[in-house]
Each structure stands twice: as C-alpha cells, then as structure tokens.
Structure 1
Amino acid sequence: MAMQNGKVALVTGASKGIGAEIARRLARDGFSVVVNYARGAEAAEQVVREIEAKRGEAIAVQADVGEPTAAARLFDTAEQALGGLDVLVNNAGIMKLAPLAEMDVADFDRQIAVNLGGVFHCMREGARRLRDGGRIISFSSSIVGLYQPTYSVYAASKAGVEAMTHVLAKELGPSGITVNVVAPGPVATELFLNGKSEALVETITKMIPLGRLGRPADIAGVVSFLAGPDGGWVNGQVLRANGGTV
C-alpha cells in the first residue's frame, strides 16, 4: 500500500516498458504520478489502474513530446490535476536503426524531434515550473560510449541529452533542483527487442558481464534513487545502468 509523500512525478512515455515500471515504482515510493503517453491510451490507463489498486494516485495524460507545444500543455494538465510538479522523468524515446548512409531523413527528423527535442521542451518547462528541490531525470543510452554501427542518429540524440543535462544542472543549482541522466544498457523491452533476431539478442547478452539483459525494474530502481532523498547530492551525472557493458 502506497503512502503518499505529497510530491508529484511526471513520467513521459509511461504506458509500457521502462516508463510504465518507473511510474509504478515512483507510486510505490509515495509520489502521485502523471502517466504520459503519445499513443496507447488503454495501456496508460492500465498503468493508472495498477497504481490505484495499490492505493496510489495517478492520472494518464496524452501528449506527444515531440510536438513543440505538447510539453507546456502536459505541465498545465498535471498542475491543474495534482497541484504542482516535483520530479520530471524524460523517458519517452524512439529508435530507428540503419547505417548512416541509408538513414531516411524522416526517421532522422523524428528521432531528433522526440529524443532530443522532446527532452528539451520538457526540460525547459521543468526548469521554469518544478518546485524548489525538484529532480529532472532524463534518459540516454549506453550506446553513447559503445557507438555501434546503425546507431548513429539514436546515439547522437542521446549524446545531446547528456550535454543539455550537464549544463542545466549548473543552471538550476541555486534552486536545489538536480538534473541527471540514466543511461541503460540492453533492457528486455519491446523497444530493444523489436527487429532483433534471437541469435543477435544472445550475442548482445554475452557481452554483458552480469550475463543477462536488464529488466525494467533494474532501471526503475535507479530512477527511484535519483528521485528520492538519498539521491539529493547527485547532480549533473550520467549513471550507466548496464550490467558492466561499458
């Protein structure tokens, strides 16, 4: 049974996978949670129902963070429904893989719009509107560092998130708002597994010193730490939660 801590967390892309697990974990930690989704309203509502079944508080809010005006609307709705925001988790992202020479321009534009632009728009709203002492937690990837073939645009978008995080952490220090990045390694989600053969997944798994793919709960635990009282002195950092891959 969740005991409310009086704080509110917004998780983008929270209808499935890592985002859904983060929403459930923060609700268990006592946060009221805004479950954001771009598509898949039923999946988002299911996450809300799961949280409410355990006496937590959550609402589902539609917004495609890749659209420039969506973030302000998302924050407006969250503030009106729950009174304010303390934690922003920029989890929403997409991945389109191809050798750089073969990358479709539309796929390039969309990845930059969502993975980098979406984080920018939400960071900007968070910088203006989070309550003092808040937390901004964004998502990169351990592919930044590995730089594997076919990941050029995805890695570039995530490297941009890391750069913005380092700068914003210094800008928001006086407000007591910390700004950090979680950079997962391979995690067994639809986003990661889609389009990969069983043999490729096995090859990737063998590269991980801990011998298994990550689980959404592994990543949600890192977010919980950064969002909670024990993470208050961690600022401007990239936490690579990857089983030792990099």
Structure 2
Amino acid sequence: MTSPFAPDTLTGKRVLVTGSSRGIGAQTVTYFAQAGASVVINYRSKAVRAEKLVAQLTESGTTAFAVAADLTDDASVTAMFDTVHAELGGLDVLVLNASGGMEQGMAEDYAMQLNRDAQVRVLQTALPLLAAGSRIVFVTSHQAHFINTTETMPEYEAVARSKRAGEDALRALLPDLEARGIEFVVVSGDMIEGTITATLLERSNPGALATRKEAAGKLYDVAEFAAEVARAALDPVPADHTRYVGDTGSFTG
C-alpha cells in the first residue's frame, strides 16, 4: 500500500511504536520511517525479527533502532525509555499498539496486566520525554471499545474488557495530558484481516472472520489499518478523542 504521508512529512520527528516488530505495529512504524521520522521498534522477545526490520528501514538512511521491553515489567519499561532518551533526546509520537491476552500459558490476569496496567505504565514513564505538541495514539478494536454496550465473541471477551479498561484508564489521564499540551487519540478498528488476533479467533471460532466481514461489508487489512493509525498521529484530534476505522453500525445501531 502507498504510504499515507508524502516524503519528508515527518523529518525531525521521533516516534516509538510498542509491539512493532510485526503486524500492524511493524507496518505503522514503517510508514513513519518512510516519511522521514526517526523510529523506535519495541518488541518483547523476537530480536531477530525486530533487527531485520531495523535493517530494512535504515537502508534508506532513516534512523531506526529496536529496544526489547516487557511492557508488564516496570524495570524493563524504564530501561526502554532511558535508551530512547539517550538516543533521541525525547519523543514526538508514542503509539500504544502492543496488546494481547489470547496467548497460551500466560497468567490468568495477563490480559489486564498488558492491556490496562502496562498501557498506563508506558504512558506515565514516557511523559518526561513528551513535550507540548506531542501526541499519544492508543490502538484498540471496536469489539473492545463498544464492549460495555455490545457483546463480542466469548473467546475474545476477556481481551475486549481488558482493552476497554485500558482505554478508560488512559482517558482518565486526559486532564493531566491536556495541561501538559500533549494530545491523545484512540484509534478503534473492526476486525483486521491478517492479524494474529484474527487468526486466533478464526481458529477457536471457525467462520468468525467471514461472518464479521459480511456484516461490516469490508474489513481492513494490516496495511490499510496501519495507515489509519499512522494518520492519527498527525490528523486533527476528533472532539471525542476517537478515530473510528471501519463500520460501526453493528455496534451503535
């Protein structure tokens, strides 16, 4: 897909995208880099994959580096932002993309640890690096954003509720962010074709993707949705701080 930005649109900007060694995060950070931004690729454990992306992005002269961090661990998050400060001096855009909760073998409350507690931890730890005019983008799904009023698939409910809890916890910080001159926007998207979450849902609930696609009329793919996430870092912030991507009729009707 063509980049959502003209060349050099983001020259001089510094961007960190959590969970960006693959999928939506990797494509989002690629769009930022193609537009001239210096980018930080955050990953938890897949160093080879992250470094491969760094190599691809730096071939064109972009400043890019990868930082490992378990976002559920205080010390790991602090160390990540210490590295970012040392390398870039600060940040202009922080994209809170990392999420999970459907993995096997994790603690029972892992979804809440990652999708709520870790999101707040990352934002608060990043605050000293974010000056007035910077922006924070939180990525979520319609199934999570509307979970209080619209049921979702049982296989996804725990994740949806934890992501909604994370969104609520971040929105509670809006007064402090606004006092600092920091902008905040939530990007809510429908099911995205080609993501790990969609694959896991399809595996546990065969036909789920096709059913949702028929109801929505269209589902975005990874590249299309990543472009919307990237644009959210520059476009005017909606009055309700929410950018909707894809059909919402099934959730608001």
Partner of 1:240: 244
Q: Which among 80, 86, 91 is matched to residue 80 of structure 1?
A: 86
1:65 is paired with a residue of what secondary structure?
coil
Contact 1:13/1:91 (CA < 8 Å) preserved in 2? Answer: yes
Aligned equivalents of 1:199 and 1:76: distance in 2? 45
Within 5 A, what are the aligned runs for 1:1-246? 3=8, 5-96=11-102, 107-144=107-144, 145=146, 146-148=150-152, 149-188=154-193, 189-194=195-200, 196-197=202-203, 199-210=207-218, 213-228=219-234, 230-231=235-236, 233-234=237-238, 237-244=241-248, 246=251
2:185 is paired with a residue of what secondary structure?
strand
Instruction: Describe the shift of the 1:32–1:174 C-alpha distance in structure 2 as closer, same or farther (beyond 3 A).
Output: same
Instruction: Describe the shift of the 1:81–1:236 C-alpha distance in structure 2 as closer, same or farther (beyond 3 A).
Output: farther
Aligned equivalents of 2:127 and 2:79: distance in 1? 15
Query: Unaligned 5+ residue runs, structure 1?
Result: 98-103
Contact 2:117/2:166 (CA < 8 Å) preserved in 1? Answer: no
What RMSD in Å do the two structures reach over aligned CA positions? 2.3
Contact 2:28/2:229 (CA < 8 Å) preserved in 1? Answer: yes
One-letter code aligned to 1:37: Y
Aligned equivalents of 1:51 and 1:218: distance in 2? 19
Instruction: Describe the shift of the 1:236–1:173 C-alpha distance in structure 2 as closer, same or farther (beyond 3 A).
Output: farther
Shift of 1:56: 1.8
Shift of 1:236: 5.5
1:143 is paired with a residue of what secondary structure?
helix
Aligned equivalents of 1:66 and 1:165: distance in 2? 16
If the length of structure 2 is used for normalisation, what is the TM-score?
Answer: 0.84
One-letter code aligned to 1:147: E
If the length of structure 1 is used for normalisation, what is the TM-score?
Answer: 0.86
2:41 is paired with a residue of what secondary structure?
strand
Aligned equivalents of 1:66 and 1:2: distance in 2? 35
Question: CA offsets per residue over residues 175-228 of structure 1, 9 Å max, x none?
Answer: 221111112211121232125245332222212223xx3212222222222212
Instruction: Describe the shift of the 1:236–1:130 C-alpha distance in structure 2 as closer, same or farther (beyond 3 A).
Output: farther
Aligned equivalents of 1:106 and 1:240: distance in 2? 30
Contact 1:165/1:179 (CA < 8 Å) preserved in 2? Answer: no
Shift of 1:38: 0.1
Aligned equivalents of 1:28 and 1:105: distance in 2? 37
Which sits farther off after the overlay, 3-12 or 198-207?
198-207
Shift of 1:45: 1.1
Aligned equivalents of 1:152 and 1:215: distance in 2? 22
Shift of 1:12: 0.6
Aligned equivalents of 1:239 and 1:108: distance in 2? 31
Question: CA offsets per residue over residues 61-81 of structure 1, 9 Å max, x none?
Answer: 000101122221111111111
- Residue identity (%): 28
Shift of 1:120: 0.9
Name the structure with the higher strand share.
Answer: 2
